Structure 1
Amino acid sequence: MRAILYICHGSRVKKGQQAALAFIEKTMRTEAAPIQEACFLELADPSIAEGVACCIERGATEIVAIPFLLLRAGHANVDIPIELQGAMAKYPDIPVYYGDPIGVDERMVDVLIERLHQTTEIVPKDASILLIGRGSSDPATIDDFADIKRIFQEKTTLQNVSVGYLAACGPFFEEELERLLEQQPKNLYILPYLLFTGILMKTIERTLQKTKTTTAIHLCPALGYDPAIHAILNERANEAAERKRGLNVPHYA
């Protein structure tokens, strides 16, 4: 019997944990797998090991593990496979098929644009947009985010679009914010490419609160709940089940 294990990142912010679990619960209602569980990589419970154990206790004979993450990076490529490998050591006869994160998908850019229009119905063509990513030292993540920016510009026809990262790589959010404000745009829209409210959103909010400028700064909400993300997660689960790809843990891990 197949189980789907959704693996969220985790957050120190309780609201972020609750939002992730609530989202996964809605996704479970759209997926036909008989066993579905959610867990966290870090910072929250249940852990990956606890999620695996729960699937087995409920009768799973195979597990499809889906990283509920936006892009390819160290967590999806290394950290989660390592944790899964350790958890599955107790169950050598149970296969685990590992899926892809959400990745670059036009539907996610559509959600991003919806969040922009939640902040303002009409975005001035001369407005500056600052897309905010989590950041990663993995070059593939940087490439993915460049694709997201490109698709965003194609769909909106907005020209003044920049990127800033919160950690691990540049240009960093604070530096890019300062650079843009030096240009004194009339409107600056901060558009976080983050799933939920958490420490990173609070970091953005604190930075903006102490920023002194005559520019009108508009902070858009995080991506949050959207049916399109349910559809993508279901697709990733189906792809993983059909592909039957096992864990690829780097030899240096």
Structure 2
Amino acid sequence: MHAPAPSPVLLVVAHGSRDPRHAATVTALTERVRSLRPGLRVETGFLEFNAPSVPQVLEKLSLERPAAEGVRDVVALPLLLTRAFHAKSDIPTVLREASARLPRLTIRQADVLGPSPLLTATLERRLYEAGVRPGDRRSTGVVLASAGSSDPEAIAVIAEIAREWRHTGWCAVRPAFASASLPRTEDAVRQLRAEGARRVAVAPYVVAPGFLPDRIAAGAWEAGADALAGVLGPSPELARLLLQRYDEARVPRIAALTA
């Protein structure tokens, strides 16, 4: 009887930031993932600004030689909400270069996190924490404020999430962007106010604090928003979503083993 193959390592690939709150939030999120699935090995690598880098983590994994055969399989999960430049170019390039350099490893890139009902649930949680109550929905307009992107696919996804979220009872939901695209958060707040929303809440569609989330917050308060939700952060829903994307990515491996 052969022992079952170990589960692939989950490598969370974060962008990184000079803002120390970013790395602290990523750490808290990965700790929550570990608590939901004890025994799963979870590592974190950053694209820039923070350590360890993604190549450094993969190099470390390739050199490990425990009693069995060592680490063989890795699922690299981008901590990204849309398929924009980092998901389409940066991360695949880093992983391809690592695969060529480290032939002992099988590295599979998981899908990005969004869109997902679990992300919408986190947005709702953060709005509630900011003081928005279920009874406020019909009179409250929401600004779905993302970091922004020059990628049309990513912009279209944010707009579609706003449209779908509107159907859950908010008087209106408008997308906004902190960079690269328009409208800005403050413009969307003013638009909702002009359209008759009694209350306006801003919901940042970003994982962790940093420069662009701070810009979203500044725009919200400048335009007189009534409530500003926190970033998605280490919510239980987001941790469950990471595990969901991990499981989806390892399905081909499971199918091969059972064929």
TM-score range, shorter chain: 0.7 to 0.9
Asked if 2 retains the 8 angstrom alpha-carbon contact of 1:37 and 1:55, the reply is: no
2:89 maps to: 78
Structure 1 residue 48: Cα displacement: 0.8
Q: CA deviation at 1:88?
A: 2.7
In 1, Cα distance between the equivalents of 2:227 and 2:40? 43
* Number of the residue aligned with 1:171: 183
Q: How far apart are the structure 2 equivalents of 1:186 and 1:164?
A: 19
Question: Which residue in 1 is equivalent to 2:240?
Answer: 231
**Cα pair 2:202 2:220 within 8 Å, conserved:** no
1:9 is the counterpart of 2:15:
yes
CA contact (8 A) 1:4 1:237 kept: yes
Match of 1:95 in 2: 106
- Report the counterpart of residue 107 of structure 1 in structure 2: 118
- Name the residue aligned to 1:158: 170
How many Å separate the matches in 1 of 2:112 and 2:225? 35
Give the CA deviation at 1:243. Answer: 2.9
Query: Residue by residue, what CA displacement relative to the aligned partner does 1:159-183 show, whole Å, maximum 9, x if unpaired?
Result: 2221111112222334334444555
Which runs of no fewer than 5 residues in structure 1 stay unpaired?
245-253
Q: After alignment, is 102-111 or 122-131 more displaced?
A: 122-131
CA–CA separation in structure 1 for the residues paired with 2:229 and 2:16? 22
- One-letter identity of the residue aligned with 1:192: P
Residues 42-96 of structure 1: per-residue CA shift (max 9 Å, x gap): 2211111111112223331122111121121111111111112223332124221
Equivalent pair of 1:35/1:60 in contact (CA under 8 Å): no
The answer for the alignment partner of 1:38 in structure 2 is 44
Which of 186, 196, 204 matches 2:208?
A: 196
CA contact (8 A) 1:136 1:168 kept: yes
For the aligned residue pairs, the C-alpha RMSD in angstroms reads: 2.2
Task: Give the TM-score of the pair, scaled to structure 1.
Answer: 0.85
Q: How high is the sequence identity, in percent, across the aligned residues?
A: 27
Find the partner of 1:240 among 239, 242, 249: 249
Distance verdict in 2 for CA 1:170–1:216, change over 3 Å: closer
Deviations 1:182-222 (A, max 9, x none): 5575422111111122212211233345x2x6x55321111
C-alpha separation in 2, matches of 1:242 and 1:184: 48
| Aligned counterparts of 2:41 and 2:141: Cα–Cα separation in 1 | 46
Written as runs of structure 1 = structure 2, the 5 A alignment for 1:118-129 is 118-120=129-131, 121=133, 122-123=135-136, 125-129=138-142
- Alpha-carbon distance between aligned partners in 2 of 1:49 and 1:61, rounded to the nearest angstrom: 15
**Matched residue, 1:23:** 29
TM-score (norm 2): 0.83
